[in-house]
Amino acid sequence: MAQTSFDAQDAEDLLKELEQFHEAIRDEWSRVLNQWSNLKSVWRDQQFDKFEPIFEKFISTYNDAEKESDQYIRFVREQIEINETKKQKLSGRLADL
């Protein structure tokens, strides 16, 4: 049977970096959306008609990627919790010996 190794500290470091990166991207994305909203309110010509569907697709793609990122962060967090539970159970069993 294959064994895998899970370094909890590496996972926690990764989780921290992912959460910080995710938050930074959200902040920047919020600024982009605000700028887009401002631009949309005043820009009306043929170029806008061509650009708007492209940008709306970009928004949709970003939203999908953000959902996937949330899921990945949740997954890493769950793996850390599972590892901690296993460590606690093992410690309890060793203490019983």
**Nearest 10 degrees: Cα torsion 57, 63, 69, 71:** -120
* Residue linked to tokens 């600024």: 31
Average pLDDT, integer, range 47-74: 97
| Long-range pairs for 61-65: beta carbons < 8 A, 24 or more residues apart | 62/29
> What's the whole-number average pLDDT of the chain?
92
Q: Is the pLDDT of residue 2 over 80?
A: no
Higher pLDDT, 25 or 2: 25
**pLDDT value of residue 87:** 86
Q: Is the pLDDT of residue 1 over 60?
A: no
**Three-state DSSP class for residue 39:** helix
Average pLDDT, integer, range 25-41: 97
